[in-house]
A and B are shown apart, each in its own frame.
Chain A
Amino acid sequence: MNFLHPGIALAGAAAVALPIVIHLLFRRRRVAVEWAAMELLREAVRRTNRRLKLEQWLVLALRSLAVLAAGLALAVPYFGGAGLLGDSAKTWIVVVDDGASSMLRAARDGEQEFARVRDEARAVLAARGAQDRVGVVTASLPPRLVLAPTADAAAIEETIARLSPTESPVDLAGAIEVARAAAAVDAAPGGATLLVASAFREAATEGLVANASRKAVDEAPATAGTAQGVRIVALRPAQESPTDARVSRVEARPSPAGGAVSVRAVVMREGASLERAQARVRAAGDGFAPVAPRTIDFEAGQREATVEFLLATMGDAATRGRRGIEVSLDADTLEPGNTAFTTVDLRPETEVGVVGRRGTLDAADLDRVPASLWISRALAPAIEGGAGIRVREIDPSTLDRRALLGLDAVVVARPDLLAPSGMDALGSFVGEGGVVIVCPAGETLAQGWSTALFTKLGTAFRTGAEATVLPQPLRLAEEQVPSPLLSSVRAELAALALPVEVTRVLRLESVSQGESVLALADGTPLVAAASPRRASDGDRRAGLVVALAVAPELAWTNLPVKPLMVPLFQELVRAGLQVAAQRDETLVGGELRGVPSTVLRTAAGRAISIGEDGRAAERVPSAGFWRGDAGEIVAANIDMRAIATAPRGENDVQSALAAFGEVGFVQASGDAGAGAASAEAAGERPWSLGLLALALAALLLEGVLSRIFSHASITRAGRGDEGVATVGRVRARGALRPKDEPVGAGGAR
């Protein structure tokens, strides 16, 4: 058992002696009475002595119990420490939430939440014992022990003062584990208390909740033991919810017409009361002409708005290369999230290889036009100016790495004719960031190629061994799940998809949620896209594989002669290239990859070294562009989950923290400088209340027993026994009352 106020507990324990001292003092001050019938009195005392002593001890014990219980209740007891009175040195590990959400500023005074939480933690620590040791763990990714437990007050204060919020997500669960490990190493005799200093907004608690659920399912038997001996005291969760706008998503696509980049930004608002407001959005990028800010007029309650920019390239920006684009908002209550970064891969002309048998487009026999020809015409229509896409036809039998040199994307129209070397070449092509689009072989129902090809491409996609001829033509689904590959035609997608019918289909299998680009009316995917996972490269995702369930031939579908055909294939190539390029984008707090043995730097000069394995030794510390010497560029953005500022209730926080040990809340008093932390532990409130109830019950019982044991009721004249009868006084009381009045002159007996 331990106490938040050990001094009061000691005082309460000392006060147990108070009733005894009072008893002794009153005993000494008792008046002496001369008495004649001493033998009778002595015998009466002897007869009642045992009962009297029992009564006295009982009353004395109740008084002492009342004082002790009241003292202990005021001292706020809790279990977790070693010493009964908390007099042993304890270890405090302060887990500081320094994640991105901690930069939230209060709407009232503009004070940053991190500063407030840090001051409250200071105030709580001010009430620690002189011998107590304090360690500090920062909870932003990755959680770190920044100060090993020490009793050096100067070092503790300096460490806490040096703390500052980061843009990284917070991992409170990981930080608590680090803290527990540090406490276990320190092994103070008084036990360990983890002080979790956080405002416990959604960003901080989501991980805790997930951790608690995971522990409840997987580790319940194990945690029961590990939670012993560690007490968790948390600051009370913040309850205010100021409104904040953030750029939640930015997409940039080269304009099909060339010479410009289309930028689409989604701005979200978070807060308890979303009133009418304006948000000014700016977009800018290296090598792009300045563009006027856009203003979003949020209606009351509106959470999300989209704004689009068209950034015109300047000078040599039109040349091939990756450019950075940033979209920013005016400063508001939370700085992280106000700016989002993305990259765009600028190419003067995209070169796409179409793998298929040569054929001619004969208007008299459209049914026999092969898929490769339809695809070639869709990608590169014979119009003036073109779509910036140049098609190179490749025969399946000649497909190898050499044939793929210089290509940005490959459309495989005859996968059934691919040699294994061709499949290997395609696998390498995807691994290097290329886009591969695979269609079923149009001339046959049998499709035995899928397993071999998709395995080489590194995806889980599979198809059946044979195409299915549908009894009735099947249309596309009226409601399509938005896909980044078709985001530029999202507005007209429904109209474009409406006339498309499918009569033969090769069902796509093993398509995960989120990988479907277009779906048929029966819900099965018509087009699916996935980024291959390379186990040999640390599961790094690269390139893009797009699979179609139909061959774009009229025997399979009327798609080739419908308006969707051209934008579908052009966007699959164009957007596919951007999606594949965005694999280099990352989130703050996440891993950073790059060219092995190089250095990535921010404009501010901060650098991260990339190791020989292509990975950085540290996580991405801040948002922005990280550029390499070889011209590579990585856009790092704030994880929107890291700045989710919705407040959480005490019960939610307590249940989330309960997986780590006994939990209580602490409320630092207003004047942190005074160091007077008036703390109460919510988890221990029942102990205090119980002890107070015990004290009250003991007092009440003591009062009743004292009343009974004092025998006061029988000493009142006329209410009890009037004693021994005498001659001259009639037994019937009142008939002859004794004359108690003093004898006056002449009133002799």
Chain B
Amino acid sequence: MAERAMRAEQYLAPETLGQLAPFELRSRMIVEGVMSGMHRSPYQGLAVEFAEHRQYSPGDSIRQMDWKVFARTDKMYVKRYVQETNLDVMVLVDRSRSMRYGTLAVKRGWGGTDASRGSSNWTKFDHATATAAALAYVCLHQGDRVGLALFDEELRTQVKRSSQRDQWRAIVGALSGEPVDGRARIGRAVDQMLARVTNRALFVVVSDFLMPVEEIRSAVARLAHRGHDVAIVQTLDRQELRFELDAPALFEGLEGEESIETDPRAVRAAYLDLLREHVDAVGRVARGFGADAIVCDTHESVGPALAALLDRRMAFAGRRGG
């Protein structure tokens, strides 16, 4: 347990907490929480926050009449209220083998996940772990419930949603002990997830999204159609983003793809164009369903990227009046 705690702290640095402190994770949608919170609930009229006046019509409960207005104007109005509730955040982390890739050198053995254990590289899965830990901390800090699910070809380990203060430790602990292997099939994982989550929630999907755009579109669409809020955190290594290899090499796929021998300098432009198209396509898919999407560089700190995401969502919530 002590080792797990130590691992958890490794993935949640104080400067990250400092960078995220001014932000709140706000839902873009109305959520169905079971507790009172900072997020708008679909259930109105049950007190908490005044919304509007409406003329009385037969059948309305007279308990909702605004008697003060009636006394002053002799007209009958009914008071309407908006319910605020808490947010359920579900972090879906890709644990496929491609997430083992990483080129940022760290002290050997520093990483606590299966992807970096025994190596000296900070992998995309390490970065996803740090992202999940930071998100969990933010959510718990504002009283929301946060849970975790890991997927590859199907949904694997799941940490139930909770608003306990040390929930983020449980999340990091789950991520640390999870094998990083297999191929990612996000559609199947989302289907399995939707069968388990019945109330509206915010799904934060952390993956490299190195998969067909159609598969991503299908998964995001199913989440959106079920009324869930979605945020996509595309985690890519700097080498994947820049492709700055100098010598011809034999490229071996992490998920069992056929090897390719090529000169990276010669194909770099084409590769970067393709990656840019792919990232743009993922972004367009997200925007198409009202979701957020960010691309994270594993060589960068988690804080600024998440801060940008949270800032964007807070701005949207402000415009909605929430």
Contact = CB atoms under 8 A, between A and B. Distances in A.
B277 to A, nearest CB: 9
Interface stretch (A39-47, A445-453, A589-597): A39-47
Contacts of A712: 246, 265
A275 B301 CA distance: 98
Interface string A38-58: 111111110110011001000
Interface string A713-731: 0110100011111111100
Contacts of A710: 263, 265-266
B47 interface: no
A38 B255 contact: yes
B297 A729 contact: yes
B70 interface: no
A40 B271 contact: yes
Interface stretch (B8-16, B21-29, B30-38, B157-165): B8-16
Interface in A698-749: 709-712, 714-715, 717, 721-729, 736, 738-740, 742-749
Contacts of A30: 247-250, 261
A740 B299 CA distance: 6
Contacts of A35: 101, 251-254
Interface string A150-170: 000000000000000000000
Contacts of B254: 34-36, 38
Interface stretch (B48-56, B77-85, B148-156, B302-310): B302-310
Contacts of B9: 748
Contacts of A363: none
Contacts of A38: 251, 253-255, 257, 260
Interface string B96-107: 001111001111
B314 interface: no
A714 B300 contact: no
B263 A742 contact: no
A41 B260 contact: yes
A737 B298 CA distance: 13
Interface string A592-615: 000000000000000000000000
A616 B95 CA distance: 114
Contacts of B302: 749
Contacts of A300: none
A710 B240 CA distance: 19
Given A724-B272, A726-B295, A39 B210 contact: yes
A33 B300 contact: no
A108 interface: no
A743 B298 CA distance: 12
B270 interface: yes
B252 A742 contact: no
A27 interface: yes
Interface string A428-453: 00000000000000000000000000
B95 to A, nearest CB: 13
A32 interface: yes
Nearest to B96: A36
B229 interface: no
A586 B247 CA distance: 86
Contacts of B122: 743, 749
Contacts of A37: 98, 208, 210, 240, 271, 275
Interface-central residue, B130, B243, B261, B298, by most chain A CB under 10 Å: B243
A25 interface: no
The size class of the interface chain B forms with chain A is 35 or more
Interface string B230-254: 0000001110111111111111111
A234 B238 CA distance: 71
Contact of B262 (A52, A709, A742): A52
Given A41-B260, A738-B297, A711 B265 contact: yes
B250 A32 contact: yes
Contacts of A749: 11, 13, 16, 122, 126-127, 130, 298, 300-302
A729 B303 CA distance: 11
B271 A41 contact: yes
B242 A722 contact: yes
Contacts of A52: 262-263, 266-267
Contacts of A22: none
A222 interface: no
Contacts of B197: none
A45 B257 CA distance: 14
Contact of B104 (A41, A724, A740, A748): A740
A728 B268 contact: no
A726 B267 contact: no
Contacts, number: 204
B241 A723 contact: yes
Contacts of A26: 248
Contacts of A742: 104-107
Given A33-B251, A727-B296, A749-B127, A55 B243 contact: no
Nearest to A712: B265
Contact of B274 (A43, A711, A729, A744): A43
Contacts of A674: none
B250 A714 contact: no
Given A724-B295, A728-B305, A748-B16, A48 B11 contact: no
Contacts of B253: 34-36, 38
Contacts of A714: 265, 268-269
A47 B270 contact: yes
Nearest to B274: A40
A742 B119 CA distance: 13
Contact of A748 (B105, B130, B238, B296): B130
B109 to A, nearest CB: 12
A34 B115 CA distance: 13
B279 interface: yes
Contact of B13 (A27, A42, A717, A746): A746
B4 interface: no
B294 interface: yes
B278 interface: yes
A42 B260 contact: yes
Given A41-B271, A52-B262, A52-B263, A32 B252 contact: yes
A723 B249 contact: no
B43 interface: no
A27 B309 CA distance: 45
A309 to B, nearest CB: 95
Nearest to B251: A35
A748 B13 contact: yes
Nearest to A746: B13
B207 to A, nearest CB: 11
B226 interface: no
Given A36-B101, A38-B255, A748-B130, A725 B295 contact: yes
B242 A41 contact: no
Contact of B252 (A33, A42, A726): A33
A42 B258 CA distance: 9
B124 interface: yes
Interface in A307-351: none
B289 interface: no
A34 B267 contact: no
Interface string A529-540: 000000000000
A39 B209 CA distance: 12
A190 B56 CA distance: 120
B67 interface: no
B265 A715 contact: yes
B206 to A, nearest CB: 13
A34 B250 CA distance: 8
A31 interface: yes
4 nearest CB pairs, A to B: A723-B242, A748-B13, A728-B304, A728-B305
Interface of B: 9-14, 16, 98-101, 104-107, 110, 122, 124, 126-127, 130, 208, 210, 236-238, 240-255, 257-276, 278-279, 294-305, 307-309
6 contacts: A34-B254, A36-B101, A41-B251, A45-B270, A740-B299, A748-B11
Given A43-B270, A728-B304, A743-B106, 6 more contacts: A33-B252, A37-B275, A714-B268, A715-B246, A721-B268, A724-B242
